[in-house]
Amino acid sequence: MSENNSGRLPLRPLGGTGLEVTPVCLGCGVLGGMERIFGYDVTADQGVATVRRALDSPVNFLDTSAGYSDGESERRVGAALRANGGLPDGYVLATKVDPDPETRDYSGAQVHRCAEQSRERLGIDSFQLLYLHDPEVIGYDAAMAPGGPVEALVELRKAGVAAHLGVAGGPIDLLSRFVGTGLFEVVLTHNRYTLVDQSAGPLLDQAAAAGVAVVNAAPFGGGILAKGPEAVAKYAYREADDAILNRIRTMQDRCTAHDVPLGAAALQFSLREPRIASTVVGVSQPERVDQTVAWANWPIPDELWRELHDLLSNGPDTGTAGRGRG
């Protein structure tokens, strides 16, 4: 079967924000060049071309961060926006505030500086969605303290600089505490709701009950669920043990028997979860944008889902997800 790239990506509400997004969000983490994490580099021209393809695709949701390659991802997104004549109507752009890359300062003052630098790099006046990124680097109490980053984000929202606030990180228990504050409209979790690891389940339940949108990043666990264990032997940027590798090999075999790419099944496992508003897929070249849309629309028979579900129930959640960018 050839790739089915019909381009059908219906819009979904992003929680209570009033924004509508496609079930696929294209992630720009690798576009600035994260060779240490992903094992390859991306040139500036390739990064800009990838964003331009994203802006012209059926996807209407783009995700980046100030901390990706010390702002280089945002610079390339900004260059693509300028070349495109701005953000297309109906398109949603999200970015994130981060600690200072040299001093690791994550104070409220740093958040204000970071947001201003992001506006300059992206060439925008205000943010549609601005996340607190990786709060695990300082912990909940420091993040919520007076003069801390959460207070600064609330100030930015009150000033009209950020329309909506989110929190994006790794540890599920920590994200749950931030969702419980009622200050965030979106929560982004990564590597913890995939064919391998569903440990984000309680967070998804909590967010759904609170009306908070869930954005699920890294459905491929860093690449292994897209390229297969023979090409990538890591899950969530850490060496995968034999049990995980064997389970993924079995999943891949079942997918092959049904003429379904493993990546399509891994992506749609997230897309078909009603508690998830959108799923972030990292892209590093224009062709990957097209492939992602094709995988999102690939016909997958119910029989394969039953077979994959049986594999999901054969082992506990790994809980081994690292701090990588989806």
pLDDT confidence of residue 181: 98
| Helix, strand, coil shares, percent, the chain, to 5 | 40, 15, 45
Domain residue extents for the chain: 12-312
User: 104-152 pLDDT, tens per residue?
Assistant: 999 999 999 999 999 999 999 999 999 999 999 999 999 999 999 999 9
DSSP 146: T
pTM: 0.93
Residues 268, 297: Cα–Cα separation, whole Å: 8
CA separation for the pair 77, 55 (Å, rounded) = 10
Q: Look at the block and give the residue holding tokens 């992630």.
A: 27
CA 134/CA 149 separation, integer angstroms: 11
- CB contact set of 157 (below 8 Å; sequence gap of 6+): 163, 164, 165
The pLDDT score that the predictor gives to residue 270 is: 98
Beta strands in the chain (DSSP E): 12-13, 20-21, 24-27, 61-63, 92-97, 127-133, 162-169, 186-190, 213-217, 234-235, 238-239, 278-282
Cα-based distances in Å from 173 to 18, 143, 184, 229: 27, 15, 15, 29
Instruction: Please tell me the CATH code under which domain 12-312 is placed.
Output: 3.20.20.100
pLDDT on residue 202: 98
What residue ranges of the chain have pLDDT lower than 50? 1-5, 314-326
pLDDT digits (tens, 9 = 90+) for 264-299: 999 999 999 999 999 999 999 999 999 999 999 999
Neighbouring residues of 36: CB distance < 8 A, sequence distance ≥ 6: none
